[in-house]
A and B are shown apart, each in its own frame.
Chain A
Amino acid sequence: MVQVRKRLKMQATANDKILLAHGGGGQLSEDLIRQVILPRLGGHGGQALHDAATFQAGSQWVCMTTDSYVVKPLFFPGGDIGKLAVCGTLNDLAVSGAQPFALSLALIIEEGFPIASLERVVDSIGRTAAANGVQVITGDTKTVEAGSADGLFINTTGIGLKRPGVDLGFDRIAPGDKIILSGTIGDHGMTILSQREDIGFQSQMQSDCAALADLIGQCLESGSEGVRFMRDPTRGGLAATLNEVVRATGRSIEIQEELVPVNPTVKAAADMLGLDVFNVANEGKVVAVVSQDTADRCVDLCRRHPLGRQAAIIGQVKAAVQAPVVEMVTRIGGRRIVQMPYGRDLPRIC
């Protein structure tokens, strides 16, 4: 397996040009960051693969995260790029155990973009921020020539303060810990695909785009010590998140296929396109690794929250036998590996 990893490493930079897949959130993205970007940034890049970076400012522990949003189309059932730009960044803070308090907002707008659309997006940003008790406190606006930005690109940076008594991290994860998933997977990515002109299907599906701070607060109520780690499974889907945990901890994960909630309409759309919902982005879900004795209470509390009604314990962390893997027990009791997605399937999802 070590040999395989080395070979993979060499291959990722064999291209001399960026591929669309480098932004897919899977293996290629990680390789680009590790091989091309981090080595040039000095010693602080260690947290770069985490959702948010944490540092001390005086006596406070501050969390900071940044994300760019290039979703296409800009408006979709269940949300828009504005709502996404707020929720996505707030969620990265929330899963890092921070209380968000402010956002920056940078807009790159294509020449010719309708002002009415810009108003819609910014209204959405304002509404979503207000609903979540945060303010946009600084920002920037740039325009580029027609053809250079596909309408609108957004970057948001979020700042928050670590919740006291909450310590989340890979290093806290141990064999025996349970894995909780807050709801159905694949909804966001499949909804976006349904809106793409070149794919051409209609559906009632909705993006699950939502701010999770409240739900996460519930989870932490079950006993913050028992919550080891959280992440929102965005690009690369549940498969990417579980594989990231496995790689960072050297442990294996075992999940049960029939316990993973999936909306039948979402699955049917994925089947039609030959996609695996495990690799499809989510924008309103959280994966939590919790201690065995807090798992039941945690999932109960999630289910009481509107965003966690279908929360489920989907598996557990185990000691690795040989190489650490994510293994799934299938419906028929068979076993198969869930690989880190390469990152090529779905462009411009978030």
Chain B
Amino acid sequence: MVDRIADARGQIEAASQRVGRPIHIMEVCGTHTVAIFRSGIRSVLPRQVRLLSGPGCPVCVTDQGYIDTALDLADRGDCLIATYGDMIRVPGRNGSLESRASGGNVRVVLSADDALRLARDHPDKTVVFLAVGFETTAPATAVVIKEAAEQRIENFCALCAHKLVVPAMKALLAGKNDKIDGFLCPGHVSVIIGSNAFLPVVDRFHRPCVVTGFETVQIMEALAEICRQLSEGRAQLRSLYRAVVTAEGNPVAQQMMAACFEVADGTWRGIGKIEASALRLKAEYGRFDAMQRFGFSEVPSQPKSGCRCGEVLCGLIEPPQCGLFGKACLPQSPVGPCMVSSEGACAAWFKYVRD
């Protein structure tokens, strides 16, 4: 592993010199952002290679209205909110889910399966599962929704906020940030959707796209591959995660998603509307949609004054360039979503980088 990393470093150095100008590579996925910071990769890259964090942090791009809805449901007393740990500290209008946890109405689950089990175990409550995440996580939601329908577990519903990665990448290149030279593509999203899902980004926008996993050596080799391609004027799709990623993805997972969800426009916090970038439960599963069941409608939230999360999420600025970073905006008192989420670029920067 050590040799491979040294090799990759050498290649990044050499290739980026040949390119002869600053290179901007975006890691789309929040899990990649954290892996990059924790491994110290940033500190060993040559100056001319700049890593940009992208919008692939599901907590970061979930609208604040979603949390407020979840809090309202938690406060009702007849609901049990089942959530992945990532969401529990996100601040809403008045507090976070964490502050409701002592009341017993909020439970952290490791799996959508656990959420469904909660519904079976608590027939007197309505379990609301906070279904957040990209394509890696959406199939699990689909499985439990289908099961709830088949087994008539009527006290179960999901507040759906699943989003899609490729439309966001295209939206960035088409408008928000065309300075991105290449992409580190999310390894586990690719497990589901297949590496070929990134071909439209390559074909239409001529950017190298390399699918890679989360180990340090994989990320380094992916960066080397992108730099090499750029130095040779190529733009190709490559996968360095053949251990689990196929060209076509997981067909069963895709079928599950297609059976339960339809594609809709999505609101990405800090960015705005991105066409065909979100998943919505199909009409036949409407009764398992928490918004429908409780008669809520989406209320757009206002970004706070001075907050530049939108630019961070698009890779246009680095966290320290935001005037609030490290001053008014801190992990324990976050102003915007990028500081809230443990995978947010601002949170990672604050945690792992020297002032």
Contacts and interface: CB of A to CB of B under 8 A. Distances in A.
In the complex, A touching B (Cβ < 8 A) = yes
Contact of A14 (B5, B108, B333, B353): B333
B191 to A, nearest CB: 17
A335 B40 contact: yes
Contact of B43 (A198, A322, A336, A339): A336
B231 interface: no
Interface string A316-350: 00000011010111111111110100101000000
B85 interface: yes
A334 B42 contact: yes
B39 A322 contact: no
A146 interface: no
B76 interface: no
B354 A331 contact: no
A344 B89 contact: yes
A47 interface: no
Contact of B332 (A12, A17, A273): A12
Contacts of A331: 2, 39, 216
Contacts, number: 84
B125 to A, nearest CB: 16
Contacts of B107: 198
How big is chain B's contact interface, by range? Answer: 35 or more
A11 interface: yes
A17 B98 CA distance: 12
Nearest to A7: B330
B352 A337 contact: yes
Nearest to B34: A274
B204 interface: no
9 contacts: A4-B327, A14-B333, A15-B99, A20-B101, A198-B108, A273-B110, A322-B354, A325-B354, A342-B332
Interface of A: 1, 3-4, 7-8, 11-12, 14-15, 17, 19-20, 27-28, 198-200, 273-274, 322-323, 325, 327-337, 339, 342, 344
Interface of B: 2, 5, 9, 37-44, 85, 89, 98-99, 101-102, 107-108, 110, 216, 220, 326-328, 330-333, 342, 351-355
Given A7-B327, A337-B354, 6 more contacts: A4-B327, A323-B354, A327-B354, A331-B2, A334-B43, A336-B43
